[in-house]
Chains A and B, each alone.
Chain A
Amino acid sequence: MPAVAFRDVSASRGGRSVLHDVSLTVGARETVALVGRSGSGKTTLLRLVNRLISPDAGQVMVDDQDVATWDPIVLRRRIGYVIQEAGLFPHMTVAGNIATVPILLNWDANRIRARVDELLSLVGLEPGQFRHRWPDELSGGERQRVGLARALAADPPLLLMDEPFGALDPITRGELHEEFVRVQSALHRAVILVTHDIGEAFQLADRVAVLHDGRIIAVGTRAELAASADPHVARLVGGPPSLRFGETG
């Protein structure tokens, strides 16, 4: 059973059509990266999964059930969500941020405390040192690690990540890539990762879907994409790193 399946999905944002007949399947233990330039529709595709937006046509299935029929609150509590600036709650400590969903799920205090420490260790932060820190006392990389820990708090089977490493310096980004690979090899969740960096996509994902003007023009492993005849895909995969979309994040 796939974790997520898009079936002929079309969607629009602010009256402008941004996705056309997109179909894609993400396996239960699979990491799929969505790549494409700004405006290609990759973030829109991601947000369809946890119903931050709704499709105009087609179906988005989570665990073989159309998300339109899920209770959105129940749906979202089993989907981890990580975004570029981490989106940490500035009025809560690191522990408070991570504990948000467990508190909503009425876990008891001891279980929450243990879970927070476990997750901090998992993302490479020393619990005793970071538990009571405030978000604005953290570096960009530390914030992103906390964001990941928060997304994993209630042990969701599915993780959505929207350019989670986009705002980081190259060294920190490299560290977090390693961290992600380590975490994923331990947890094996279904992950959908939005990125504009094809290198990051190949490093972290099992398969890569290339979006262009609201359509998926190719899906596959690095080797499969390298064999593609599509000029956009060829330029993306084959071009030197400096020419990759010319974006900075």
Chain B
Amino acid sequence: MALIEFFLSHRAELAARLGEHVILVLASTAIAAAIGIPLGIVAARRPSLSRPIVAIANLAQTIPSLALFGFLIPLPLVGGIGTRTALVALTLYAVLPILRSTITGLQGVPASVIECAVAMGLTPRQVLSRVEWPLALPSIVSGLRVAVVIGVGTATIASAIGAGGLGDYIFRGLAMVDGTVILAGALPAALLAIAADAALALAGRAADPRRRRPAATGALVAIVMVVVTGAAWASRADPRHEIVVGSKNFTEQVVLGELLAQLIERETGIGVERRLNLGGTAIAHRAVLSGGIDLYVEYSGTALTAIFNQPPATGSDTVFREIRDRYAAVGLTALPRLGFNNTFAILVRRADAERHGLKTIGDLNRLRDWRAGFGYEFLERPDGFTGLAAAYGLRFANQPRVMDLNLIYRAVASKEIDVTAGDATSGLIDALDLVILEDDRHYFPVYDAVPVARATMLLRHPEVADVLRRFEGRISAAEMQRMNYAVDGEKRDPAQVARAFLDTIDRFYVQPR
């Protein structure tokens, strides 16, 4: 019921996301076919080439999708943020099944049939087009089916690099811990996969020479043309948006992204494109470096350690000055801090805290057999888990589990794990009845929210720089937590929450202009 309501209230957006998804999959499959089929033909003819070609395609297939996006973003031409990079990655994934099925199909043509074709005086090209191709076509179509079904699934991840698609709902739902929103992306994606598979099964049957092959070939050509047109349309730049605001993939980031986007739109009238829900610090940073986005909110401690590989530091001003200089060196501008410090918070269930008298992080050592789960970043970064364990002498019975950042709060509440490290401003802390253990040894460095922008964009739009500078210190930790809770706990739309916040502060914010 909630799902149907969601669909009804998000009709237009859903259609747009579905459209993006279909275009991503079809375009990447078409490009992969344009690469994989000729490559398969070459490989089937020269067995010595077949092995390395398949090995390379295999290798591309084994790279995890997020890692592949990470590799691609800094590359010229194929990289960046958005549809183009997603197309490249999806294409790489789709090549292998198409290549394989082409080779299998061609090698399955009986040698006696080819011998006769050659002996009858068909040129090599005619042998291919009149004999081998039609006989291999059913196998190639089955490879296309596999590629499309894989593509529908993988394209959901493309949302992480701002390519849109149904993954937007899945990631948003994960960030909001809202099953309805996840389903709103997952269900259409599943239906799309089933529909695409069925459609291609029909196409495969039409490709059967005993039915009407010319019609099927015509249909395939038509599909390819539609898809290529669609791809050209999808990859064209949207001229209405002069500034692109990004965000990482958790609620607070999405709210902040919306907030800055709306702020710029309200105060300057400049069109802002949103590339929210990018898949992590590295992707967001590479995106702003490469110009895929112009602006996003980073946290000073994260910038210092995770981006600039410096040891963690304390002191809000010290850290800010340090990262401002380092950002300036790579053409980025760290704008004045927004006002709140989103440091890590070590979280346990309120019931556990009361039963065992847990107040500080050090108190964790009173527990036996506790299970910890952390986001991937927390386990990796120098100011994360390792340092924390050393600072407090934490003893672990079990290796901490790696979990998606969006799932950790739920995992604690549902007793899958007992301890995690979340954001101090997370709205889920109250919503799920968790408590923050005090960092009495001041282990965690400061994580002041800092808008980071491309210097060239600020030079082009000094009015944007002005608006963002005047936004200094406007968001307190309590306000951020409330906005997060409005999204996570009350299931309100991030854009709406951001708008409501801007409405309240506009009263004393607007200045004569």
Contact B121 A87 (CB under 8 A): no
- Contact status of A76 and B112, CB under 8 A, knowing A104-B126, A134-B210: no
- Residues from chain A with a CB closer than 8 A to the CB of B119 are 50, 52, 76, 79, 81, 160
B309 CB-CB contact with A under 8 Å: no
Beyond A91-B134, A91-B209, A134-B210, is A52–B118 a contact (Cβ under 8 Å)? yes
B residues near A (Cβ < 8 Å) are: 110, 112-113, 115-123, 126, 130-131, 134-135, 209-210, 213
Residues of A within 8 A of B120 (CB): 76-77, 81, 100-101, 150
A95 on the interface (CB 8 Å rule)?
A: no
- Residues from chain A with Cβ under 8 Å of B123 in the complex: 73
Q: Which of A86-109 contact B (CB under 8 A)?
A: 87-92, 100-101, 104
With contact pairs A73-B121, A74-B121 given, residues A89 and B210 touching in the complex (Cβ less than 8 Å): no
Shortest beta-carbon distance from A62 to chain B in Å: 13
Q: A51 → chain B, closest Cβ, in Å? A: 9
Where chain B touches its partner, the secondary structure class is helix
Determine how close the nearest CB of chain A comes to the CB of B130; give it in whole angstroms.
Answer: 8
Minimum CB–CB distance for B175 against chain A, Å: 52
Residues of chain B within 8 A (CB-CB) of A92 are 209
Closest to B208 in A: A91
Assess the B115–A91 pair: CB atoms within 8 A.
Answer: no
Complex Cα distance, B131 from A75, in Å, reads 20
How many angstroms between the C-alpha atoms of A77 and B119 in the bound complex?
8
Residues on B with beta carbons closer than 8 Å to the beta carbon of A88: 113, 116
> Given the known A-B contacts A91-B135, A134-B210, are A76 and B116 also in contact in the complex, defined by CB atoms under 8 Å?
no
Chain A residue with Cβ nearest B213: A91
Shortest CB-to-CB span from A181 to chain B, Å, is 24
Given A92-B209, A101-B120, list of 16 further CB < 8 A pairs?
A: A73-B121, A76-B119, A76-B121, A77-B121, A81-B119, A81-B120, A83-B112, A87-B113, A87-B116, A89-B135, A91-B135, A100-B120, A100-B130, A104-B121, A104-B126, A160-B119
**Chain A contact residues, CB within 8 Å of chain B:** 50, 52, 72-77, 79, 81, 83-85, 87-92, 100-101, 104, 134, 150, 160
Q: Shortest CB–CB separation between residue B261 and chain A, in angstroms?
A: 57
Across the interface, do A90 and B121 meet the contact criterion of CB distance under 8 Å?
Answer: no
User: Which has the most chain B C-beta neighbours within 10 Å: A79, A84, A89, A101?
Assistant: A89
State how many angstroms separate the Cβ of A191 from the closest Cβ of chain B.
15
CB-CB under 8 A from B134, the residues of chain A are: 91
Closest to B135 in A: A91
7 contacts between A and B (CB under 8 A): A77-B120, A81-B119, A85-B112, A87-B113, A89-B135, A101-B121, A160-B119
- Minimum Cβ distance to chain B for residue A135 (Å): 10
CB distance A90 to B113 under 8 Å?
yes
Closest to B119 in A: A81
Q: How far is the CA of A150 from the CA of B120 in the complex (A)?
A: 9
- Check if A104 sits within 8 Å of B116, measured CB to CB: no
| B112 and chain A: residue at smallest CB distance | A87
Q: Tell me the nearest residue of chain B to A76, going by C-beta.
A: B121
Q: Name the residue of chain B whose CB is nearest to the CB of A100.
A: B120
With A73-B123, A74-B121, A89-B131: A81-B209 Cβ-Cβ less than 8 Å: no
A85 and B113 CA atoms in complex are apart in Å by: 9
Shortest distance between the CB of A36 and any CB in chain B (Å): 20
CB distance from A216 to the nearest CB of B (A): 23
Q: What's the least CB distance linking B15 to chain A, in Å?
A: 41
